[in-house]
Amino acid sequence: MKKNACLCWLLIGLFFILPAPVVMAAASALGQVEEVTGLMKIQRAKQKTWLTAQRDTDVFFGDVITTGDESRGLIKLVDDSIIRVHANSKIVLNTMISPVEKKHSVLLFFGKLWNRISKKALRKKVFEVQTPTAVCGVRGTDFEMASYEDGTMLVRVNSGEVEVDNEVVQETLTANQGTQVSFEEKKIQVESEFQPDWDQDQARSRENLLGNGEKYGGYVHDEIYKRRDHLKTLVDRASDLKATKEQLKQKAAESKEKGDLATYESYLTEIEKISHEQRELNRKIAYHGRRLECHFGLFSHYGDLAKDPEISKHFKGREYILSQLDDVEMIYDEFNVMIEEGMKMSMEDMEDLMDEMRDKMKTFKEKKNSASLFDEMN
């Protein structure tokens, strides 16, 4: 009896601490543009048109933000965190966040950012910046980073800590430390008093790409295929689990109706195991979706450069980029369907869990008003 009462209290606690579904977050502004120099454009999620950012322009979940030559913009989030987007950059805000994740995620396809993350934000959520090369998990307040066209990523921490993870190794950077990661160099070498020449490194990156587009395009192309296949495996597993869970629910209901409580409880145990795996799959689908979108964003940029009348004249390997572009765009369409399917299944599972919690809370409240609850707790 005590166990049942404790379970009710646990469910009530979970009801209040579980994050709201993604669709709820999408309705509210994440922040506002506070400063703009030059040209800064914003494309809303699932929209084709672009708007010119101005001071006080709201930014939302899934916004794509770009800056032009000699341009920059400053975005202040509702939690008082600040993101400064430097010239010739492209980012996406908080795309593909799982309903079981508590985090802000910025995708940096290419360009440079300066970030000051508020303590209030870090108390509530994890803050990460994903690039095609690595993921930076923020544990401190002030850092700057760049992701350049040849896949080179630079990070310098001014205060606090940043964990750099390229899925081969992880390293934590502290104040005044930094590192450089690339498609070719998987080792993360931590350097003290790291002082990169950002502009020079950006120019060198452009030279590398234009000098061998097939090499760098090949890196990104291979990552897209690898992650697409892995993501498909995750989504297929999520589909199988959903079907198995429905079957177990039906069998559990039949056992309960027959009064076979031992079998009923064994089915509930199996269902809980599946629910746990579904939540983990939800996180993995969202994570690999973000990683894959970074690679799509960079390869799409390669395509834009290959089509540019002036740049294409000096772009060695542009033929390879153009020959793969349609294929990559087709995979991107397939990817969107997979993500939607995978996240939809995850959302349905979360909604089922919330419905179960509401039923438990209703039962608990009814019992609370009766003497039987006192008997159970004692």
Q: Residues 43, 189: one domain? A: yes
Q: Residues 191, 217: one domain? A: no
Q: Residues 327-332: what's their mean pLDDT?
A: 89
Where is pLDDT greater, at 61 or 353? 61
- Give the mean pLDDT of the chain: 84
Per the structure, the complete domain to which residue 157 belongs is given by 29-77+80-197
Q: Judge whether 12 lies within some domain.
A: no
Q: Judge whether 203 lies within some domain.
A: no
| Domain boundary pick from 163, 197, 231 | 197
Q: Residues 52-62: what's their mean pLDDT?
A: 95
Q: What does the longest C-alpha to C-alpha distance in the chain come to?
A: 84
pLDDT at 347 over 80: no
Q: Residues 345-367: what's their mean pLDDT?
A: 52
Q: Judge whether 33 lies within some domain.
A: yes
Number of domains comprising the chain: 2
Structure confidence at residue 375 as a pLDDT band (50, 70, 90): very low
pLDDT at 341 over 90: no
Q: Residues 196-202: what's their mean pLDDT?
A: 94
Q: Residues 189, 237: one domain? A: no
pLDDT at 330 over 60: yes
Return the minimum-mean-pLDDT range out of 6-15, 97-106, 327-336: 6-15
Q: Residues 67, 186: one domain? A: yes
Residue 18: the pLDDT is 32
pLDDT at 279 over 50: yes
pLDDT at 5 over 70: no
Q: Residues 173, 243: one domain? A: no
Residue 157: the pLDDT is 96
Q: Judge whether 55 lies within some domain.
A: yes
Return the minimum-mean-pLDDT range out of 21-35, 121-135, 275-289: 21-35
pLDDT, tens digit, 9 for 90 and up, residues 152-196: 999 999 999 999 999 999 999 999 999 999 998 888 999 999 999
Residue 171, both tokens: 């390293």
Q: Judge whether 21 lies within some domain.
A: no
Q: Residues 288, 178: one domain? A: no
Structure confidence at residue 346 as a pLDDT band (50, 70, 90): low
Q: Judge whether 1 lies within some domain.
A: no
Residue 331, both tokens: 């995979």
Q: Residues 217, 355: one domain? A: yes
Share of the chain above pLDDT 70, in %: 81
Q: Residues 47, 91: one domain? A: yes
Q: Residues 169, 282: one domain? A: no
Q: Residues 318, 265: one domain? A: yes
Look up the CATH number of the domain holding residue 191.
2.60.120.1440
pLDDT at 377 over 50: no
Q: Judge whether 208 lies within some domain.
A: no
Residue 294: the pLDDT is 95
pLDDT, tens digit, 9 for 90 and up, residues 68-121: 999 999 999 988 999 999 999 999 997 667 666 777 889 999 999 999 998 877
Q: Residues 264, 184: one domain? A: no
Residue 140: the pLDDT is 73
Residue 94: the pLDDT is 78
pLDDT at 22 over 80: no
Q: What is the crossing angle of helices 318-368 and 261-307, to 10°?
A: 150
Q: What is the crossing angle of helices 213-258 and 198-211, to 10°?
A: 100
Q: Residues 53, 155: one domain? A: yes
Q: Judge whether 4 lies within some domain.
A: no
Residue 305: the pLDDT is 97
pLDDT, tens digit, 9 for 90 and up, residues 133-143: 999 998 878 99
Where is pLDDT greater, at 254 or 370? 254
Structure confidence at residue 282 as a pLDDT band (50, 70, 90): confident
